[in-house]
Chains A and B, each alone.
Chain A
Amino acid sequence: MELNSRVPSGPLDKKWSNHRFANKLVNPANRRKYSVIVVGTGLAGASASATLAEQGYQVKTFCIQDSPRRAHSIAAQGGINAAKNYQNDGDSIHRLFYDTIKGGDFRAREANVYRLAEVSNQIIDQCVAQGVPFAREYGGTLANRSFGGAQVSRTFYARGQTGQQLLLGAYGALSRQIRSGRVQMFARREMMDVVVVDGRARGITVRNIMTGEIESHAADAVILATGGYGNVYFLSTNAMASNVTAAWRAHKRGAGFANPSFVQIHPTCIPVHGDYQSKLTLMSESLRNDGRVWVPKNKDDKRRPADIPDSDRDYYLENKYPSFGNLVPRDVASRNAKEQCDQGKGVGSTGLAVYLDFAEAIKRDGRDTIWKKYGNLFQMYEKITASDPMVEPMMIYPAVHYTMGGLWVDYDLMTTIPGLFAIGECNFSDHGANRLGASALMQGLADGYFIIATSVAHYLGTNKFDKASEHDASFIDSRRWVEDRIARILRNSVGGTTGKCTVDEIHKELGRLMWDNCGMARNRQGLEAALAELPRIRETFWNRVYLPGSNKEINQSLERAGRVADFLEFADIMIRDALAREESCGCHLREESQTEENEAKRDDANYSHVSVWEHRGEEQEPLMHKEPLVFEFVTPTQRSYK
């Protein structure tokens, strides 16, 4: 597997413009002759589809939900970063770049991160032009707030529904192109395979969720915008349908998978409260701007929070990190919450929660101000927990939220399969070992609106294409493989339910294994045990899973089973990746590698690389390759938020 990052030469701030100039173009009149498939309609997929269609390409777009407007980007609450420096508080492209690469604990590519910071300002301009109703100051200018891991106010927001508003903007642009006929939209399709012809991605195989039919779609290039794999843990803040299948099938067809063990555990989520729980709900990190995190000083203190005086409270983030306080990056905040709970100081009925307290902010700014900022989040919290954060502190606990790992891509966002691109959370490119708050929306839209069209033009402009057809052998083979696999999944369902188990039971077992051993803190012993345990769960799935219904109809159990089957395979490289990286960095805390103060301790001499996994068939162990990370413009330091 060759890993050529194709990072352009030249000074950091010239790389992107040099690259755009060096890349080939496609003449506007010729663009209609090319077709591009986009899978996924979140921020990355919807913006890419719209932009490519506006430029004149024939686009076929696919989504798993009933409408492209429902992709999980919609659930992002807090905001989107940009280096506008509208607040005149010292921000710049270089500072956004530096914060992002430092926040990622120096495990991302400099050139990619710089480009992200560079295009961030255009994103805000574009979204405002579309009519996205960002929050405004009374003078009519755009409002900003600060977010974890940054000391400037660079986050643009639309109440607590920023993701929704940005996605509806991109969905509007996509809808316009659907109306014009340049985008053909296929909703309720689940991607099952990438079709590779003569070494290049030429199409996909999908399952029509409404009919069960297996369909082929051919094109000249394929873009995956299929999101992250947090649902491998069963419980996460991801939407129920979020899955690894598209990325995993691409991986099995030859796309390298980078840093699969890098998973962000978000510090402010509503704690788990029962076995029946189907998902976890995030409370925007913006709450940490005004909320103070604390636990009782004494672990046996069972008083109501209001009855515990300040002197008996431990505001552990403020005490430990005086300069960032409650606004430390997510990985640091999560780890500290776990540490407090491990020491027995957790609160609530399970002891797996810490307080996030707004009492002081309400006293300082007044009820109205706090309600205006966070009212919708407070309502959401109250709906779920029946407790009002205006009256008593919220209880929060970390939960799986975002995956920094993903398909390996070069500077052009192309995977190791020529013609197969990956954008948004689906790729690994910009966040290193930890993503800063309000940067996911920025990356999704940067990739979709401002980067991918350049890459696609270059790829199409430098290659010759024979027409690919759904009747070609590769397409037929792919369809057959998909159908066989579905038949195999359904195999155990004849002859009743005795001795069988359900998809969810197996998924929960996998989730527990991953959370316990490959979650917030990891060690060799646990990881090795998990790796040994995994084949047994996989075997249970293939020998005992019971699925009602058939393949040729709406069958939601079958949909889930297909996804769980892929998670069960994928978990293997996640664990291997966590094992192989014997350092701590960002989200990845190897207990063997900590500073004296229990902070993540990097080992740059041995692990300053991206680990990229190659699939070598079902019978062989996967092979790890390394893309060395070279820092020309910044000096990796031990992160300190004190």
Chain B
Amino acid sequence: MSSINLTLKIWRQANSDALGGLETYSLDGIHTDMSFLEMLDVLNEKLTKEGKDPVAFDHDCREGICGMCGAVVNGIAHGPEKETTLCQLHMRHFKTGDTLVIEPFRSRAFPVRKDLLVDRSALDRIIQAGGYVSVNTGGAPDANGLPIASQRAELAMDAAACIGCGACVASCPNGAAMLFTSAKISQLALLPQGQVERKQRALAMVAQMDVEGFGNCTNARECEAVCPKGISIRNIARLNREYLTAVLSEG
């Protein structure tokens, strides 16, 4: 186990209305087996002991699945490692003397609440618009009564793996939530359970994206590059197809 010394430039902002800016901290003796968030814990413990305000950041499971953590590290959402959430990024990927610029996930639809902590409730409202199968509890037919080809189920699972972290939005030059929305639309469009509401779902979820102030996709592919779960932009192609079919036949 070795340790490294770092310079951190972290976005500090007291609240949504306050003006923010980067502040510089030096942090020595960081063990390379630490996770990125544990490195921030160490910084916060140090700031606390100095009587200063620690850096606010969202986090919960620290296993890369809840989707709560996330920050832009040196310009890349969730940092430099591919398919890795910030909590699963370990300090062995940095070296002594490195300067890390740490900023919140920025987007028009994600207002900063404090430091690195942003409001992503817009993503919840997109799901509320139709990201589900409308079945009430009870009375479902036997689970094996609906055979689904394993390959199709796997494709649906690839899309369903989205953790809703918002890295796709933060890295998109247009601030689009297309990768997020398309993951849910794909999952349900691929499965027989999603067929009944297929068109309605595509229309409603896309409409909600617009209401929330997300931008449009121009195939920059930044979202796919940073997605910690490796969600492919093929899902966006599928969303476009779903949307077009729905508009032409329903709209």
Contacts and interface: CB of A to CB of B under 8 A. Distances in A.
A496 B51 CA distance: 6
Interface stretch (A66-74, A431-439, A562-570): A66-74
B229 to A, nearest CB: 9
Interface core residue of A54, A168, A450 (most chain B CB under 10 Å): A168
7 contacts: A129-B135, A131-B191, A175-B132, A276-B38, A383-B90, A556-B54, A557-B48
A240 B59 contact: yes
Interface of B: 1, 14-15, 31, 33-35, 37-38, 41-42, 45, 47-54, 56, 58-68, 81, 83-84, 88, 90, 92, 113-114, 117, 119-121, 123-124, 127-129, 131-138, 140-144, 146-150, 153, 156-157, 160-161, 163-164, 187-188, 191, 193-194
A74 B65 contact: yes
Contacts of A239: 60-62, 66
Interface in A483-499: 496-497
Interface stretch (A91-99, A195-203, A545-553, A586-594): A545-553
Contact of B129 (A72, A179, A379): A179
Interface string A499-539: 00010100000000000000000000000000000000000
Contacts of B164: 67, 69-70
B61 A133 contact: no
A75 B15 contact: no
B33 A273 contact: yes
A274 B34 contact: yes
A14 interface: no
A130 interface: yes
B59 A274 contact: no
Interface in A128-153: 128-131, 133-142
B90 A386 contact: yes
A609 B58 CA distance: 42
Given A66-B121, A126-B140, A140-B148, A384 B135 contact: no
Contact of A384 (B90, B148, B156): B90
Contacts of A276: 31, 34, 38, 41-42
A383 B88 contact: yes
A131 B187 contact: yes
A68 B124 contact: yes
Contact of B133 (A84, A131, A273, A502): A131
Contact of A75 (B52, B65, B187): B65
Contacts of A67: 67, 120-121, 123-124, 164
Contacts, number: 222
The 10 closest A-B pairs by CB, nearest first: A140-B147, A172-B132, A129-B140, A125-B140, A128-B143, A133-B157, A131-B193, A179-B128, A136-B150, A70-B66
Contacts of A554: 15, 56, 113-114, 117
Given A70-B60, A548-B53, A557-B48, A125 B142 contact: yes
A124 B136 CA distance: 14
A140 B193 contact: no
Given A125-B141, A502-B48, A168 B160 contact: yes
Given A129-B140, A168-B160, A497-B48, 19 more contacts: A66-B120, A67-B67, A70-B66, A70-B67, A70-B68, A84-B144, A125-B141, A131-B132, A131-B193, A133-B156, A135-B157, A136-B147, A139-B147, A176-B134, A241-B60, A273-B33, A274-B33, A279-B62, A383-B81
A279 B68 CA distance: 15
A176 B141 contact: no
Contacts of A138: 149-150
B34 A75 contact: no
Given A176-B128, A176-B132, A380-B88, A497 B58 contact: no
A159 B45 CA distance: 37
Contacts of A240: 59-62
A68 B133 CA distance: 18
Contacts of B135: 126, 129-130, 173
A137 B160 contact: no
Nearest to A67: B124
B65 A161 contact: yes
